[in-house]
Amino acid sequence: MHNNKVLIVDDQNGIRVLLTEVFSSEGYKTYQASNGKLALDIVRNDKPDLVLLDMKIPGMDGLEILKHIKKIDASIKVIMMTAYGELDMIKEATESGALMHFTKPFDIDELRSAVNDQLRGGSSYSRMAVES
């Protein structure tokens, strides 16, 4: 089975723990980072397939982190997690290569299926291959 890697970047420990549980149980290898520096170290060293990136992170914000991720490897998929009312930032994030965003508090099942669609849907191998 293809072991996709998911990096969760959020300064809130509770959200990292929750998402790590969700995506580990989906069979992904998960990584966590609480800030931009850690996130970019993981991106460089472990090359995640998809990053769940919180927009509001102290220090380097989500937009900056997103731009750095795309410079390191443009093929890494990024889904933003935003607070209500960050619409101007969402527009910029989309222009910088984010696939989509989820507004907190998000529906965990919607987020899970979005990640599954990105990592298992389309691309190089079909759903049939995943299920067999």
What single string gives the DSSP state of each residue in 6-35?
EEEE-S-HHHHHHHHHHHHHTT-EEEEESS
Look at residue 85 in the predicted model and tell me its pLDDT: 76
Give per-residue pLDDT as tens, 69-102.
999 999 999 999 998 777 889 999 999 999 999 9
Give, in order, the Cα–Cα distances in Å from 116 to each of 40, 95, 130.
23, 23, 11
Look at residue 72 in the predicted model and tell me its pLDDT: 98
Among 73, 71, 93, smallest CA distance to 82 is for 93
* Contact (Cβ atoms closer than 8 angstroms) between residue 56 and residue 86: yes
Look at residue 2 in the predicted model and tell me its pLDDT: 62
Among 46, 98, 90, smallest CA distance to 74 is for 98
Q: Any idea which residue has 């927009």 for tokens?
A: 55
Residue 99: how many CB atoms within 10 A of its CB?
14
Both tokens of residue 45?
């060293």
DSSP 121: S
Look at residue 26 in the predicted model and tell me its pLDDT: 95
CATH class of 5-131: alpha beta
Q: Which of the residues in the chain have pLDDT under 50? A: 1, 123-132
